[in-house]
């Protein structure tokens, strides 16, 4: 493969970049409010859409892609509404969460079919370029049914990119991938974003988003809970109050000592040991062994309570 065949910018440098804008967007299904008054603006580069299951990520992506009408508010791409707008579809690609593809097709046939759906003037050339972009040239004549999960996902990305859209939306693209496949997909998203495309991918895994994008939009229960620089959001998440269950050889003495520790905001002595509230996760977990050791106490158990992703996200909503 040549350097130019994998160049995500066929025209060497993209002349324009696109902005996807959401203004007060809501979507409900009967009584269920899936997306609640979300506003955001996405420009060139990679953005992560982070949120626990059921947060409304898929609904939001489908509205962005023009597959679903907002119940209220507007989604526009460079000022044009995305809903029922064929002009917009030409500039946008969506890789949905569902993996369903015709496994009897080869990747080449699959991507050419997508090019024909877009009525591209030269479907073969468009498919060649898209397949090169996801680095599937070597396997393109094999049936998709024989592919690994990661390869199948790349074939779907190629089909979504065949019309060379400015905006690519991916719903949980890393789901079910092994670490090597993940790295490959991350590299692909970096390349596409670096070339000036507007890329948004959803995920419910914090670390995944951290590795791929510096900018993040966090959704919880249909609402935008936080948005912006990943490091700021990470700090918000780690600085929240933490609750630990602690057991030791002398809980009472340890409780007294912990009260004097600045990272600790509260200690409760119960039958099953101590419940300790700490404002700073790192400072507390570093201080505890030293405090115990200095008093000849042995820590038998240190378990963070309620560290579920949902609780982390809920904290962001309350913050």
Nearest-approach distance from CB 29 to ligand ATP, in angstroms: 3
Task: Give the interface segment with ligand ATP, choosing from 6-14, 46-54, 70-78, 235-243 (CB under 6 A).
Answer: 46-54
Number of residues engaging ligand ATP in binding (CB under 6 A): 12
CA-to-CA dists, residue 118 to 9, 58, 93, 311, angstroms: 19, 23, 11, 43
Quote the strand ranges of the chain, DSSP E.
20-29, 32-42, 45-50, 72-77, 80-81, 92-95, 167-170, 198-203, 215-220, 223-229, 242-248, 264-270, 273-278, 299-305
Of 158 and 160, nearer to ligand ATP (C-beta) is 160
Classify 125 as helix, strand or coil. Answer: helix
State the Cα–Cα distance between residues 192 and 158, nearest whole angstrom. 12
Identified binder of ligand ATP from the candidate list 53, 103, 146, 301, rule CB under 6 A: 53
Q: Which residues, in sequence order, are CB contacts of 233 under 8 Å at separation 6+?
A: 216, 218, 226, 316
Identified binder of ligand ATP from the candidate list 57, 91, 129, 163, rule CB under 6 A: 57
Q: Does 218 bind ligand ATP (CB under 6 A)?
A: no
State the Cα–Cα distance between residues 2 and 279, nearest whole angstrom. 53
Of 52 and 273, nearer to ligand ATP (C-beta) is 52
Q: Does 50 bind ligand ATP (CB under 6 A)?
A: no
Q: Does 51 bind ligand ATP (CB under 6 A)?
A: yes
Q: Does 32 bind ligand ATP (CB under 6 A)?
A: yes
Of 245 and 317, nearer to ligand ATP (C-beta) is 317
Q: Does 29 bind ligand ATP (CB under 6 A)?
A: yes
State the Cα–Cα distance between residues 103 and 142, nearest whole angstrom. 10
Nearest-approach distance from CB 273 to ligand ATP, in angstroms: 35
Q: Do residues 139 and 65 touch, judged by C-beta distance below 8 A?
A: no
Nearest-approach distance from CB 172 to ligand ATP, in angstroms: 6
Q: Does 58 bind ligand ATP (CB under 6 A)?
A: yes
Identified binder of ligand ATP from the candidate list 20, 34, 42, 120, rule CB under 6 A: 34
Q: Does 200 bind ligand ATP (CB under 6 A)?
A: no
Question: HSE-up of 295 (CA within 13 Å, CB side)?
Answer: 19
Classify 240 as helix, strand or coil. Answer: coil
Of 16 and 29, nearer to ligand ATP (C-beta) is 29
Burial pattern 186-217, b for ≥16 Cβ within 10 A else e, equals: bebbbbbbebbbbbbbbbbebebbbebbebbb
Q: Using alpha carbons only, what angle is made at residue 68 by residues 67 and 71, rounded to the nearest 5 degrees?
A: 160
Q: Does 70 bind ligand ATP (CB under 6 A)?
A: no
Q: Does 55 bind ligand ATP (CB under 6 A)?
A: yes
- The sheet with strand 242-248 has its strands ordered as 264-270, 273-278, 242-248, 299-305
Of 55 and 120, nearer to ligand ATP (C-beta) is 55
Task: Give the interface segment with ligand ATP, choosing from 3-11, 51-59, 79-87, 280-288 (CB under 6 A).
Answer: 51-59
Q: Does 54 bind ligand ATP (CB under 6 A)?
A: yes
Q: Does 59 bind ligand ATP (CB under 6 A)?
A: yes
Q: Does 140 bind ligand ATP (CB under 6 A)?
A: no
Classify 124 as helix, strand or coil. Answer: helix
Q: Does 254 bind ligand ATP (CB under 6 A)?
A: no
Q: Does 56 bind ligand ATP (CB under 6 A)?
A: yes
State the Cα–Cα distance between residues 135 and 123, nearest whole angstrom. 18
User: Residues interacting with ligand ATP, by CB under 6 A?
Assistant: 29, 32, 34, 51, 53-59, 204
């Amino acid at each position: 493969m040549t350097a130019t065949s994998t160049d995500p910018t066929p025209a060497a440098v993209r002349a324009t970049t696109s902005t996807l804008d959401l203004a007060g967007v809501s979507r409900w299904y009967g009584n269920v409010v899936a997306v609640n008054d979300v506003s955001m603006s996405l420009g060139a580069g990679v953005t992560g859409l982070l949120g626990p299951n059921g947060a409304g990520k898929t609904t939001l992506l489908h509205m962005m892609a023009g597959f679903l009408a907002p119940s209220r508010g507007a989604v526009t791409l460079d000022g044009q509404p995305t809903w029922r707008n064929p002009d917009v579809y030409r500039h946008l690609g969506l890789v949905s969460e569902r993996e369903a593809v015709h496994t009897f097709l080869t990747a080449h046939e699959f991507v050419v079919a997508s090019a024909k759906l877009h009525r591209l003037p030269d479907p073969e050339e468009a498919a060649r370029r898209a397949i090169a972009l996801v680095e599937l040239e070597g396997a393109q004549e094999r049936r998709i049914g024989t592919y690994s999960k990661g390869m199948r996902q790349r074939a779907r990305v190629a089909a979504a990119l065949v019309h060379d859209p400015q905006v690519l939306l991916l719903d949980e693209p890393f789901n079910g991938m092994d670490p090597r496949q993940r790295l490959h997909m991350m590299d692909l998203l970096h390349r596409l974003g670096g070339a000036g495309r507007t890329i948004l991918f959803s995920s419910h895994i914090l670390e995944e988003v951290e590795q791929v994008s510096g900018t993040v939009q966090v959704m919880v229960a249909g609402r935008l809970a936080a948005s912006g620089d990943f490091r700021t959001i990470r700090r918000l998440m780690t600085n929240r109050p933490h609750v630990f269950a602690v057991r030791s050889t002398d809980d009472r003495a340890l409780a007294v000592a912990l009260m004097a520790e600045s990272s600790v905001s509260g200690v409760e002595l119960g039958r099953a040991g101590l419940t300790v509230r700490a404002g700073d996760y790192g400072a507390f977990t570093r201080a505890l062994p030293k405090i115990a050791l200095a008093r000849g106490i042995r820590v038998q158990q240190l378990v963070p309570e309620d560290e579920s992703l949902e609780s982390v996200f809920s904290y962001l909503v309350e913050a």
